Amino acid sequence: MKKRLIIGGAIALGLLLVVGAVFTMSTWGDVNRVTIDRRDPVAEQPAEETAEDEPETDPGQGVGISEGMEVFLLVGSDSRDELEDDAGFGDFVGQRADVVMVFIRPSDGSRAALLSLPRDLLVDDVCNDGSEHRLNDSLQGCAAYNGPTALTRTVESVIGQQIDHFALIDLAGFQEAVDAVGGYEICLERAVRDQRAKLKLPAGCTQATGAQTLAWLRSRNTQELTDEGWRVMPGVNDLTRNERQRAFLLAMMGHMSDFSSPTAIADTAQVIAPFVTVDSELSLIDAVDLGWSLRGLSRGNIDELEIPVSDATTASGAAVLVAGVDIADLVDDYLAPEMAEDPSGAFAG
- pLDDT one-digit tens code per residue, 123-156: 999 999 889 999 999 999 999 999 999 999 999 9
State the Cα–Cα distance between residues 254 and 236, nearest whole angstrom. Answer: 26
Residue 227 lies in a domain: no
Give the CATH number for residue 282.
Answer: 3.40.630.190
pLDDT digits (tens, 9 = 90+) for 34-59: 999 987 654 445 555 444 444 444 44
Identity of the amino acid at 336 = A
Q: Is residue 69 part of a domain?
A: yes
In a domain, 204, yes or no: no
What Cα–Cα distance (Å) separates residue 284 from each residue in 25, 287, 291? 8, 5, 10
In a domain, 124, yes or no: yes
**Is 208 domain-assigned?**
no
**Residue bearing the bigger pLDDT, 182 or 192:** 192
Of the ranges 83-97, 205-219, 299-313, 329-343, which is most confident? 205-219
Q: What are phi and psi of 323, to 5 degrees?
A: -65, 135
| Residue 213 domain flag | no
Distances (CA, A) of 315 to 76, 122, 318: 28, 12, 7
Question: Structurally, how many domains does the chain consist of?
Answer: 1
Is residue 215 in a domain?
no
Beta-bridge partner residues of 302: 112
Domain that holds residue 102: 9-38+58-181+236-348
Q: What is the spatial distance between Cα 32 and Cα 133, in angstroms, rounded to a whole number?
A: 27
Strand-strand pairing, 165-170 and 276-279: antiparallel
Whether residue 101 is contained in a domain is answered as yes
pLDDT tens per residue across span 316-328: 899 999 999 999 9
SS3 4: coil
Residue 73: how many other CB atoms lie within 10 Å = 26
pLDDT at res. 18: 52
Query: How many degrees, rounded to 5, is the angle at CA 321 between CA 242 and CA 330?
Result: 70
Distance CA 129, CA 137 (A): 15
Helix runs in the chain, H state only:
9-19, 25-30, 147-159, 171-180, 210-218, 238-256, 262-272, 284-294, 327-335
